[in-house]
Amino acid sequence: MNHQTELSPGSVLTYRSAPRIAVIGAGIGGLTCARELHLRGCEPVVFEASGRLGGRCSSRSTSVGWFDDGAQSIGGATRLGAYAVQRPGELAALHPWTVPATPTEDERKGRDWDKDENEADATRTLKLMGAVGVPSMLALAHAVARPLEVRLHTSIQQAWRRGATWVLRDSAGEIDEAFEAVVLGIPAPLALPLARESAGLAAALRAVRYRSRWVLLLGSERAVNLPGYREFQGSPIERVAAMHSKPGRSSTMPQRWFVEADERWSFQHAHEDAETVADLLLDNFRSHAGRSVKPNFLCAHQWQHGFVEAPAAMPGQPECLWDDKMRLGVCGDSVVASQIDRVHRSGLAMAVRVAEGLMRRRERSAMGTPDRGSRKVFEAQAAHS
Ligand SMILES: Cc1cc2nc3c(=O)[nH]c(=O)nc-3n(C[C@H](O)[C@H](O)[C@H](O)COP(=O)(O)OP(=O)(O)OC[C@H]3O[C@@H](n4cnc5c(N)ncnc54)[C@H](O)[C@@H]3O)c2cc1C
């Protein structure tokens, strides 16, 4: 078209539309990928099976208040905080979390602290636990998702190719939209049925192993005699974290405690019911915090795909998987490790890979060259470190 020519009334101008990409899973991996695709001019649509954002990095509302019920803190550098504007006087959406490195005298009183505690050091130094979402992990997920189209309560059960595009099906039937690419930001066992069109990706996902993990959410009307964060060795409980010790959370009663069971204990009790697990973990919590703990709220939850045991990528390998021919990708802890900072990088790498793959395809079709799309599946680069 001659750019100097004026359009006559009634003329229709058609520009090529932004590529629509389906991102399955609104955990940190999927959300990061979608946000970056959005920044690159794509049109991602995020499908989330549950009713909330964040996946295993989220928070749960209960009758005694909010609990971060998965990841407690984020170690390592991420750009997650940059997705939200910090207004004057507000804490950043991602804020450092520090806890006293040694217990107070009150906390010590009558307690048999572990042998590894440095009893000689009475100085109240602060230990950095990492960064946390403010006022909750869920709020952080919302900050990442703010400009995105996210469809909650939409569990994707099938994905297949129709011509050059992807079609999805949820429990209500086929979704009447076509997508140029699909990204799976979900644990490998859940991703596998959706990756059948790519033999390479399906094989990689089949090799990924996950371990389940029990957690207990505990509310107490009386202050619990433990520091705000503590790890245990040789105990059914791996660590505890008090919500009131984190920035931006309310410190009013009841206190809310996150109790994470040990990996082995979680495995041994994998088939127990939640009530029995709650009683067992409470009993153990009391052995650390004192028999006088009387909870007014108890809820045990099993994360079925809690932590990845053997991710798809070996150290030094790409942080996402991408089948350029099928235009199907996988990001999240299935590929890297169960650490938010690494999952975030995986989402970033995935977005770069998808955007580049689609751009190459459009260039090829603009030049009239057939789309051979023949690159090897695992060539995705770790574009962000
Ligand atoms: C108890 C616990 C404590 C942890 N603590 C820490 C910590 O302190 N620090 C840290 O760095 N990491 C921690 N981790 C690990 C970290 O939380 C995870 O590695 C990370 O959150 C995984 O993110 P993801 O986006 O890959 O997957 P997920 O967070 O699992 O997100 C996947 C999302 O996809 C949805 N979904 C699944 N199937 C479908 C489908 N078919 N259709 C649509 N949606 C679907 C799920 O509902 C979920 O929301 C912890 C994990 C657990 C379980």
Q: How far is the CA of 221 from the centre of ligand 1 (A)?
A: 30
Q: Say if residue 25's pLDDT is above 90.
A: yes
Q: Residue 142 C-alpha to ligand 1 middle, in angstroms? A: 15
| Rounded distance from Cα 198 to ligand 1 centre (Å) | 23
Say which range, 86-95, 134-143, 184-193, has the weakest mean pLDDT.
Answer: 86-95
Beta carbon of 311 within 6 Å of any ligand 1 atom = no
Position 307 pLDDT exceeds 90? yes
Q: Which of 32, 47, 57 to mutate to test the pocket of ligand 1 (most atoms within 8 A of CB)?
A: 57
- Looking from the CA of residue 306, the nearest atom of ligand 1 is 53
The owner of tokens 């799309």 is 373
Q: What is the pLDDT of residues 96-112, one digit of tens each?
A: 999 987 655 555 555 55
Ligand 1 within 6 A of CB of 56: yes
CA proximity to 378, closest of 314, 286, 290, 288: 314
Reported as a single tens digit per residue, the pLDDT across 248-285 is: 998 888 999 999 999 999 999 999 999 999 999 999 99
Q: What is the pLDDT of residues 170-209, one digit of tens each?
A: 999 999 999 999 999 999 999 999 999 999 999 999 999 9
Q: Would you call 281 exposed, middle or buried from its count of C-beta atoms within 10 A (0-12, 13-18, 19+)?
A: buried
Q: How far is the CA of 382 from the centre of ligand 1 (A)?
A: 21
Which ligand 1 atom is the nearest neighbour of the CA of 155? 42
Task: Assess whether the C-beta atom of 65 lies below 6 angstroms from ligand 1.
Answer: no
- The atom number, within ligand 1, closest to the CA of 28 reads 25
Asked whether 144 and 83 are in contact (CB, 8 A), the reply is yes
Of 15-19, 73-77, 355-359, the range with the lowest mean pLDDT is 15-19
pLDDT at 4 over 90: no
Q: How far is the C-alpha of 72 from the C-alpha of 230, rounded, in Å?
A: 12
The overall average pLDDT reported for the chain is: 88
**Residue 30 in contact with ligand 1 by CB distance below 6 A:** yes
Residue 315's contacts (CB-CB under 8 Å, 6 or more residues apart) are: none
346 lines ligand 1 (CB under 6 A): no
Index of the ligand 1 atom closest to the CA of residue 215: 1
